Amino acid sequence: MANKERTPFENPVVEWVDSRLPVFTLMQKEYGVFPTPKNFNYFWNFGAIAMFMLITMIVTGIVLAMHYTANTELAFDSVERIMREVNGGWLIRYIHMNGASFFFIAVYIHIFRGMYYGSYKAPREILWMLGVLIFLLMMGTAFIGYVLPWGQMSLWGATVITNLFSAIPFVGDGIRTLLWGGFSVDNPTLTRFFALHYLLPFVIFAVVFLHVWALHVTGSNNPLGIDTKGPQDTLPFHPYYTIKDTFGLLVFVLIYALFIFFMPNALGHPDNYIPANPMVTPAHIVPEWYFLPFYAMLRAITFDIGIPFTDIVFINAKLGGVIVMFGSILLWFVLPWLDTHPIRSARFRPLFKIFLLILVADFIFLGYVGMQTADAKLFGVVPLIYLGQAATAYYLAYFLVILPWLSKNEKGRELPASINEAVLAKNK
């Protein structure tokens, strides 16, 4: 089918291959001449950066897997052997370890971009939902990956998180046992987590493929949030955005390298350099930084939900926390239907912009709360738990109340006629 529209290539080898399997035509169409809005800012780099991080993680991960042993007796030692004896092993492990953090940094910025410029709105709902799915898969992969070194945080993080599943009514205990393969987090758990940690990145890769496919059907959103109206609004992807993405990527990698080589353990926890001990829980267990806001929302639910002044409880605190934590991400799936305002970009929605930036601050604050002990107080006075509850309430209200309300009531500013006009006006 595609053969009919094919223009022949000059190089005879390329032409020979392409006339049989039009991969070059495909690349040319999707990454060469692909029309891309000409007004991207640097926020649009983070998709490519996330892609780079995924590939980095897969490549270093495969090499690490060749040296790693998934057995509770040997896992910690095998990781230390990578650090000390394998040629350049410390470098590969530090790239992988910090890579998880930098993958999340790139993806969080990418998600923020999507929220700020309304990239989730029609016709890009499926593109957005695939992105949320990727984020969920990343969280799962990162969590089980953190278990593999079998340090104290590995064991106790895994214990706490797998115990969350026991909150689910009726089937919870069964699910937990299924995850454990025993009576606690132990050797069977570690072995299956390793298998899953190897598998999931390829699942992510497949969903990323769908994500990019969906992107190339609808085309990219842009900082103005208005549709492209013709060739005057776009540029071919290559060389304009290949070059710009490479530049942005290099700046990102520069900061990433600063961590790898000069503070490789700054984002980790010292307790994970103590071999796992099922008899002793560390004094203060915290998840990795990228989970902290969600961890704070989990801990914010300290109360049962039921009929007041009776003993009737519908949802106990444990289940409530789990629902809020998972719900806080699942809400993103329906974001396109919570925010139905016709204007995409926050540039033309002053009220929306304020509430969204508050949400970002709220989310970072939740991360701070998640890092502290359960009984911590802000400035030694205000119990953090209440502030965490307030922050959780704002988070939920933003999606469930503020966005639907703004959709109906915010007027918004006048949109420019076209991308080209806006670009020309700006450069006057």
Partner 1 sequence: MTTIKADDVKRRDFLQLTAGGFGIVGVIAAATPLVNSLNPAKDTLALATTEVDISTIPPGEGRTVTWQGKPVFIKHRTPEEIKEAEDVNLALLGDKEIDSDRVKRPEWLVAIGICTHLGCVPTGQKMTEARGDYGGWFCPCHGSHYDTSGRIRKGPAPKNLAVPPYEFISDTVIKIG
Partner 2 sequence: MRKSLLTLMVLAASVSSAGLAQTAMAATGEVHLEEQEWGFDDFFTGTYDRAALQRGYKVYREVCAACHSMKRIAFRHLADFGYSEAQIKNIASEYSIEDGPNEDGDMFDRSGRPSDYFPSPYPNENAAKAANGVAPPDLSLIIKARHDGANYVYGLLAGYEEPPEGKELAVGQYWNKVMPGHVIAMAAPLSDGMIAYEDETPETVDQYSRDIVEFLAWAAEPEMERRKRWGINVLIFLAAFAGLMYCVKKKIWKPVY
Interacting residues toward partner 2 by CB under 8 A? 38, 41-43, 45, 77, 80, 83-84, 90-91, 94, 101, 105, 108-109, 112, 223, 235, 239-240, 243-244, 246-248, 250-255, 257-258, 260-267, 269-271, 273-274, 283-284, 286, 289, 292, 364, 367-368, 371-373, 376, 423, 427
- Per the annotation, the verdict on 184 as an active-site residue is no
Interface residue with partner 1, options 14, 17, 51, 59 (CB under 8 A): 59
Q: How far apart are CA 258 and CA 273, in angstroms?
A: 21
Catalytic member of 220, 269, 341, 345: 220
60 is a site residue for partner 1 (CB under 8 A): yes
269 in active site? no
> Which element (helix H / strand E) includes 306?
strand 305-306
Identify what 108 binds: partner 2, partner 1, none; CB under 5 to 8 Å per kind: partner 2
CA separation for the pair 264, 267 (Å, rounded): 7
Catalytic residue flag (residue 15)? no
CA pair distance 100, 212, nearest whole angstrom: 21
**Smallest distance from partner 2 to CB 16, Å:** 31
Residue from 2, 21, 66, 254 in contact with partner 1 (CB under 8 A): 66
**Is position 244 annotated as part of the catalytic site?**
yes
- In 3D space, the residue among 95, 191, 93 whose CA is nearest the CA of residue 150 turns out to be 191
**Please, which residue, 3 or 41, has the CB nearer to partner 2?**
41
List the beta bridge partners of residue 234.
Answer: 37
Binding at 341: pick from partner 1, partner 2, none (beta carbon under 5-8 Å per type): none
Q: Which CB atom, from 61 or from 268, has the smaller least distance to partner 2?
A: 268
358 CB neighbour count, 10 Å cutoff: 13
By CB under 8 A, name the one of 37, 47, 61, 89 that touches partner 1.
89
Question: CA 379, 385, 388, 389 torsion: positive or negative?
Answer: negative
Q: Answer yes or no: 121 catalytic.
A: no
**CA–CA gap between residue 297 and residue 366 (Å, rounded):** 7
Q: Out of 101, 119, 154, 245, pick the active-site residue.
A: 245
Long-range contacts of 332-337 (CB under 8 A, 24+ apart): 332/128, 332/132, 332/135, 333/129, 333/132, 335/115, 335/120, 335/128, 335/399, 335/403, 336/120, 336/121, 336/122, 336/125, 336/128, 336/129
Choose the contact partner of 87 out of partner 1, partner 2, none; CB within 5 to 8 A by kind. Answer: partner 1
Distance CA 179, CA 38 (A): 48
Residue 118 near residue 345 (C-beta atoms within 8 A) = yes
9 binds, among partner 1, partner 2, none (CB under 5 to 8 A by kind): none
Closest distance of CB 423 from partner 1, Å: 12
Distance, CA of 349 to CA of 406 (rounded, Å): 9
Pick from 4, 20, 84, 408 the residue near partner 1 by CB under 8 A.
84
Residues with a catalytic annotation lie at 216, 220, 244-245, 288
Contact residues for partner 1 (CB under 8 A)? Answer: 59-60, 63, 66-67, 81, 84-89, 91-92, 246
